Structure 1
């Protein structure tokens, strides 16, 4: 099977109030020993993110899900230990529970450029995502894969929605991060592209028109990576636990190679409105059927996703894991549902307990 990589963004929050705290730089130094890699000299990387309350962990390119699992669990465990020592929690959530003062942008030339581009949006851009890269060496094949996964993006968002709270209140949405991201010019469904030249011409035109500062700032829910020979799926909220992340990564890789391209040519507006429904209602949404375009309940569409990806999952050896974790999510809910259940039971103390649950270390 082809290689893939995972990028997870985390927010560092005060352990009592769940308000972001500017510990990102200290966390990176503690985890990497100044090398930028985790463990120091190892395969993964821990990097600065847009705000000083955030960190990002990126696995190395891997072929087996077990390799990714080992890297994810090791980093999550170390980050949890660091946070606990600083009276904080390291949280995989699309948005933090409490926001407090305006966010502080991490000092760097690129982030400064982006902050100037975003203007006042920067102050409230508290969003954390999960990105999955799937390696596709051929450039034209990457564009065909992007076209094929477009109509599946709403279902992937419904499955992964994990940002029910912001500003210390229930937003009424399953993925509030997705709503915040709609303030950016390119968020949501990419258009359908004819070929790789069409893709790059479109991005170049947007840069020349000053719609985005550079090609790396394309923020569609899926895109061709500007740095790697990969298709990058960016639709996901950051996830509460490594098991949720691994489920989504396995589905991404399988879907890239099994999503039917024929019969799934949908208008961008249709995908975009389905993405809004997924952000609003999560797994209770009525979405656009990825093939026919007709309305379908999200939970029914999960069965279609399972059937579509089964051949590739069986080939990679991931079918049993995906079936197990899909059953768990269908039973216990996505991250947004689990957040609401915890808050409904015990308020902020319940959320605190949910996000403070120790992350199992790598086996």
Structure 2
């Protein structure tokens, strides 16, 4: 006799895009050899077409296939990192998964009309546009559902950023921020948290009105911390700095999926005031500045609270979805390490206290861990 209980729906599929910068080990400055490295990886494995160049000549981007579970995500992220680690080692370079690189040197712009146009539009901002992110795609049933999910997630962007901040230094100096990449991104035509949209039609109308203004050449260049993807039926979370290790990348993606799941079910709590644009935006700035080292705006109360109290509230809201997907262990291990050792920004600063060589070793070891 079949089990009469209703079956639990399968977890939403996810996709991961992570950007990596190639660094010279003595100076930790970018080295413009990404195209050469990509060519070698593709020659070794024809399936490596998921490794592509990005805006900078020192950057590579990994775009995963559609992933159903944490095991698949771990497998493909580690395969990419292993292949890139070997290619970088053959050139005595460091592949670094960081929001911004520490070294003073700058990478030049990759070829392509789109990149050239973006370069021109940035003007004097261009020298600072040396950033790497982690983008997580989570499947949605419709664009209408995606708009509702984005509305529910807005107050939780700041806690997510504080947890994953990983860009404390830039151009050879400590910026004082946990996520300097976030501050650079705030200069774009669209930046920080997206506005609240009434529905999918409202989203389409208002985003298309932005096309042609500044760096928004098309809807694919919207730079908000989350948006609806144009090519895929997903909501794309773009707020995360690139993460030091494969485990952190995967855990971040799984936590994002769980939060999307509970947001879609209307089970992600927040006070109405916490969703107000000025508070959401200020909370993001505060999280980018302090990471986990100061309080965070608690979406449940719209007031400052101890950082880990807010993080724990967020994770507990997501826990039913983590348990249903079998992701609880991975995410809890990530949280336990972050609680003990700090986020990526804290760990980079700790390593840099021992000198640039020590930071370089930490970056290399974390990438391959």
Shorter-chain TM-score bucket reads over 0.9
Deviation at 1:282, TM superposition (A): 0.4
Where does residue 3 of structure 1 map in the other structure?
Answer: 13
Where does residue 68 of structure 1 map in the other structure?
Answer: 73
Number of aligned residue pairs: 354
| Secondary structure of 1:104's aligned partner | coil
Checking the alignment, whether the CA contact within 8 Å between 1:103 and 1:124 is kept in structure 2 is no
Q: Distance in 2 between matches of 1:262 and 1:319?
A: 20
Where does residue 130 of structure 2 map in the other structure?
Answer: 126
Deviation at 1:291, TM superposition (A): 2.8
Where does residue 310 of structure 1 map in the other structure?
Answer: 319
- Picking from 43, 46, 62, the partner of 1:40 is 46
Where does residue 148 of structure 1 map in the other structure?
Answer: 152
Q: Distance in 1 between matches of 2:175 and 2:121?
A: 26
| Secondary structure of 2:138's aligned partner | strand
Q: How does 1:40-59 map to 2 (within 5 A)?
A: 40-41=46-47, 45-59=50-64
- Does residue 338 (structure 1) correspond to residue 347 (structure 2)? The answer is yes
Checking the alignment, whether the CA contact within 8 Å between 1:174 and 1:336 is kept in structure 2 is yes
Deviation at 1:263, TM superposition (A): 4.6
Checking the alignment, whether the CA contact within 8 Å between 1:284 and 1:299 is kept in structure 2 is no
- Picking from 285, 293, 297, the partner of 1:288 is 297
Q: How does 1:313-328 map to 2 (within 5 A)?
A: 313-328=322-337
| Secondary structure of 2:47's aligned partner | coil
> For the structure 1 residues 358 and 241, does the alpha-carbon distance in structure 2 shift closer, same or farther, using more than 3 Å as the test?
closer
Where does residue 192 of structure 1 map in the other structure?
Answer: 196
| Secondary structure of 2:62's aligned partner | strand
RMSD value, Cα: 1.6
Deviation at 1:31, TM superposition (A): 1.5
Checking the alignment, whether the CA contact within 8 Å between 1:19 and 1:98 is kept in structure 2 is yes
Q: Distance in 2 between matches of 1:74 and 1:223?
A: 28
| Secondary structure of 2:279's aligned partner | helix
Where does residue 357 of structure 2 map in the other structure?
Answer: 349
Deviation at 1:41, TM superposition (A): 2.4
- Unmatched segments (≥5 aa) in structure 1: none
Please, what TM-score do these two structures have when normalized by structure 1?
Answer: 0.94
Checking the alignment, whether the CA contact within 8 Å between 1:10 and 1:55 is kept in structure 2 is yes
- Does residue 222 (structure 1) correspond to residue 226 (structure 2)? The answer is yes
Q: How does 1:268-279 map to 2 (within 5 A)?
A: 268-279=277-288
Moved more, 282-291 or 226-235: 282-291
- Unmatched segments (≥5 aa) in structure 2: 1-10
| Secondary structure of 1:295's aligned partner | strand
Checking the alignment, whether the CA contact within 8 Å between 1:73 and 1:359 is kept in structure 2 is no
Deviation at 1:123, TM superposition (A): 2.6
Q: Which runs of 4+ in 1 moved over 3 A?
A: 208-211, 259-265, 358-361
- Does residue 22 (structure 1) correspond to residue 28 (structure 2)? The answer is no
